[in-house]
Amino acid sequence: MIIAQQKPVKDIAAMISECKKVLLVGCAGCVTVCLSGGEKETEVLASSLRIMRKMEDKPLETVTYTATRQCDPEYVAMIDNYTKDVDAIISLACGVGVQYLAERFTDKWVVPALDTKFIGGSTVHGNWEEKCGLCGECILHRTGGICPIIRCSKSILNGPCGGSQYGKCEVSKDVDCAWQLIYDRMKALGKLDKLMEFHPPKDWSKSRDGGPRKAIREDVMID
Amino acid sequence: MQYAPSVRIIEMPCSGTIDHRVLLQTFEDGADGVFVAGCMEGDCHFLKGNFRAKKRVRQVKAILDEIGFGGDRLDFFNLSAAQGQRFAEIVKTMTDRVMELGPNPLKLKNAKKEGGAA
């Protein structure tokens, strides 16, 4: 899932300082799971902003709505009725959601309440880790299910660098050396020989090279 | 055993049901101070309800500090149903603290707007 974290309330308040009525839109997707932009977080932020503005003697009216997803036009369209008389829309989605709202509500001031951090998962409740570098062509079958693109600080594809010490990365003692993990796992699986296979250089044109990417599947398109 | 008459008790099935939104709402509605009384540590019927409540109170205190309202108006205490005397003491502690902090600043803004004494 996409991991995002809420910006400081003061920063969000500064973005809407001139507004009298705002719509806060939560997202029931990834940001609900990572506890940063779901229904509850949306209402807590609305309450925080109201209290803050009331203390400044500039009361703020808030409307809250949590979309099933902010990254699909049909769910964004369901927000239409809530936007009529608001001065701004605060999106508690990832950067994708903010852009979908800005694209649909062209006459509204749309601002982000979250900082989108990375693609990852949770280890324990409240702790998330980056796991995927979105490189566009997965090689996890060659690396024992451990991604060297994002988990190796240098994204090296042919083994550890000289900064690998006692299984840790030179970047921080809290960061495991991805290639040590890969080696250990392949060894445990009895597949070390797989690491000796030659592969052509990775095709980075499938990654960010060439600008924003598109994925098109005509088989699932509805005419 | 006596305690300040200004206290309004809201019963919850378990302190673990306390939600950030409920706590913030109390202040928006004009409460000068709020304390959450959870069971003694180790005595929670649901095992972790009081610990969760304590954590949530801490989070809301941080939010109140962040937005300039002041987290001191909110606190958490462990208290068993048999500790009436302790309850009275906590009420006194919180009442004294709130007296020192003054009325809820949001209430003052309302009073100003309605033409009442600020």
Give mean pLDDT, residues B47-52.
95
Q: Which residues of B touch A10 (CB under 8 A)?
A: 66-67
- Residues in contact with A123: Cβ distance below 8 Å, sequence separation at least 6, in sequence order: A129
Beta-sheet pairing, A21-27 with A2-6: unpaired
Contact criterion met (CB below 8 Å) for A67 and A79: yes
The Cα–Cα gap between A93 and A101 comes to 10
Q: Which residues of A touch B28 (CB under 8 A)?
A: 47, 50-51, 54
Contact criterion met (CB below 8 Å) for A139 and A202: yes
- Model confidence at B114, pLDDT cuts 50, 70, 90, reads low
**CB within 8 Å: B67 and A52:** yes
Q: Is the CB of residue A134 less than 8 Å away from at least one CB of chain B?
A: no
The Cα–Cα gap between A5 and A3 comes to 7
Mean per-residue pLDDT over chain B, rounded: 92
CA distance B19 to chain A (A): 9
- Convert the pLDDT of each residue in B89-109 to its tens digit: 999 999 999 999 999 999 877
pLDDT above 90 covers a percentage of chain B that reads: 84
Q: Mind giving me the DSSP string for A176-206?
A: E-HHHHHHHHHHHTT-GGGGG---PPP-GGG
Contact criterion met (CB below 8 Å) for A112 and A95: yes
- Convert the pLDDT of each residue in A13-36 to its tens digit: 999 999 999 999 999 999 999 999
- Residues in contact with A53: Cβ distance below 8 Å, sequence separation at least 6, in sequence order: A13, A59, A60
Task: State the residue for tokens 């495991």.
Answer: A176
Mean per-residue pLDDT over chain A, rounded: 96
Q: Which residues of B touch A43 (CB under 8 A)?
A: 21
Give mean pLDDT, residues A136-147.
96
User: Where do the domains of chain B lie?
Assistant: 15-113
Contact criterion met (CB below 8 Å) for B15 and B50: yes
Q: Which of A54, A61, A62, A125 to mutate to test the interface with B (most CBs of B within 10 A)?
A: A54
- Convert the pLDDT of each residue in A142-200 to its tens digit: 999 999 999 999 999 999 999 999 999 999 999 999 999 999 999 999 999 999 999 99
Question: In the 8-state DSSP scheme, what is residue A165?
Answer: B
Predicted pLDDT of residue A210: 80
Ramachandran angles phi, psi of A170, nearest 5°:
-70, -20
Q: Is the CB of residue A48 less than 8 Å away from at least one CB of chain B?
A: yes
Residue A6 sits at the vertex; the CA angle it makes with A5 and A9, to the nearest 5 degrees, is 160
Per-residue pLDDT at B118 exceeds 50: no
Predicted pLDDT of residue B115: 58
Strand partners, B75: B35
Q: Where in chain A is the domain with CATH 3.40.50.2300?
A: 2-118
The Cα–Cα gap between B33 and B16 comes to 19
- Spatial CA neighbour of A1 closest among A137, A109, A93, A101: A93
The CATH homologous superfamily for domain A2-118 is Response regulator (3.40.50.2300)
Per-residue pLDDT at B83 exceeds 60: yes
Q: Is the CB of residue B45 less than 8 Å away from at least one CB of chain A?
A: no
Classify the C-alpha dihedral A182-A186-A188-A189 as positive or negative.
positive
Q: Please write down the long-range contacts of A209-214, taking CB distance under 8 Å and 24 or more positions apart.
A: A213/A136
- Residues in contact with A92: Cβ distance below 8 Å, sequence separation at least 6, in sequence order: A6, A24, A25, A26, A27, A31, A36, A37, A38, A41, A42, A45, A113, A114
